[in-house]
Chain A
Amino acid sequence: MDNTIAKKKRRIALGCEGSANKLGIGVILHEGDVGSPLATATVLSNVRHTFVSPPGTGFLPKDTARHHRSFFVRVAKQALSDAGISIADIDCICYTKGPGMGAPLTSVAVAARTLALLWDKELVGVNHCVGHIEMGRAITGAAHPVVLYVSGGNTQVIAYAEQRYRIFGETLDIAVGNCLDRFARTLGISNDPAPGYNIEQLAKQGGRVLLDLPYAVKGMDCSFSGILTRADELAAHMKAGGVGPDGEPFTPADLCFSLQETVFAMLVEITERAMAHVGSSQVLIVGGVGCNERLQEMMGAMAADRGGSVYATDERFCIDNGIMIAHAGLLAYETGFRTPINESTCTQRFRTDEVLVKWRK
């Protein structure tokens, strides 16, 4: 193992993320002794460019990959100049190995490899989910939380034990964010800045009625596809001039409200059960859906009842970004982890618990 890096007082990584529709490049600085509680992480830059598809449509792998290829150099230049560092200051290049969409992942990996080869730096392949968890921990300072990871592609309740992030519960079909994104398409809501954000804003105007949607918690797991089907049916019913359970018409805002209340209640339930199981009173919410203030509020109420609290970050760190890949990659790099160029592939499926979390006790 190469111990040189562990002896350096200042360690810098550049991270490249592109597993879904966000292209993110960031630079992180770690200072202090590796593994010491006094070691700090500082964000030097965090640049993102999002591929936004027209209302009623989702982002397709081919178009998303093209977006990442066309913006990579622009975003990388910005990240470098924001950080105010020289190439010599950088210790390693980190990239998202998976999980995610194949073509966008690969497009960013090609560029990350090119940088590593041109700059003569080592490469570190990072699990996207572990990136979210480590960034959430670093920003909020939550030491030993139960983690709820909720995004457009993933829905998992996670707790750390013996150098693995163990999955306690997860979705059985689609991710909660995918359910929200697709319902936004049904309603023809804008995808700018994000479909979930626009659903959240619309839901604030709803709530006259709570429409009945199938609450689908199965043990520690959740299912969202049936809820989406039912919500789509209700939307069609509404457009045809149908009425709600109280005989009055209902609105897209009522639908968004009902959808959020139902799916978030399910997430709160499985998270609470995981907290009871591991005896933790902290819950950390990461992933794009983690920006949702209604979800944070509901989770906060549950955590407060248990004498604990909820930790969440804002859109800079919740939504996919390059800095989390840089941070998690640098943590692994400091323990001696490397990804040789000829092994620096991407993989659409890469479970959170496959990663050996060598940097934690």
Chain B
Amino acid sequence: MATDATAGLPCELTLDIPFPDARLASVALNAIRVDKELSLLVKRDLSVIPADGSSDQSVLRVEYKAATNRMLRVAVNSFLDSLALVLEVMEELDVDVVEARQKENSG
């Protein structure tokens, strides 16, 4: 963990979450970034960046800065909870998945 004493938020964590493609990374970004962090002592930056050796913006990057490690842990855990839900919805309810399931059931 690096320090960022100037902002008064010394505890930092950056996570890179790879997605299969840029579309899904963008969906995750837009689904999650709407809800603001509830504490002023936690700062979150969400973005999509290219995967290594590709021009596809298929990696979701989240950068957390918090006043204490405890606040950092709570905020990151909450982010991971939301992310897990987004991933499950993508896996089970994306258009192609639903259509494939409906075709299977009708056939």
Chain A residues in the interface with B (C-beta under 8 A):
65-66, 69, 72-73, 76-77, 80-81, 86-87, 106-107, 109-111, 113-115, 117-119, 341-346
Contact = CB atoms under 8 A, between A and B. Distances in A.
A87 B81 contact: no
Interface stretch (B4-12, B46-54, B65-73, B87-95): B87-95
Interface of B: 26-28, 30-32, 34-36, 81-82, 84-86, 88-90, 92-95, 98-99, 102, 105
Contacts of B85: 69, 72, 107, 110-111, 114
B35 A345 contact: yes
B95 to A, nearest CB: 6
Contacts of B99: 86-87
Main secondary structure of the interface of B (DSSP, over half): helix
Contact of A114 (B86, B95, B105): B86
A76 B85 CA distance: 13
A123 B65 CA distance: 31
B86 A77 contact: no
A254 to B, nearest CB: 44
B93 A77 contact: yes
A73 B102 contact: no
B104 to A, nearest CB: 12
Contact of A72 (B30, B31, B89, B94): B89
B93 A110 contact: no
Nearest to A105: B35
A94 to B, nearest CB: 16
A14 to B, nearest CB: 11
B92 A119 contact: no
B93 A73 contact: yes
12 contacts: A69-B81, A69-B85, A87-B95, A109-B34, A110-B31, A113-B30, A114-B86, A117-B27, A117-B30, A118-B27, A341-B30, A341-B31
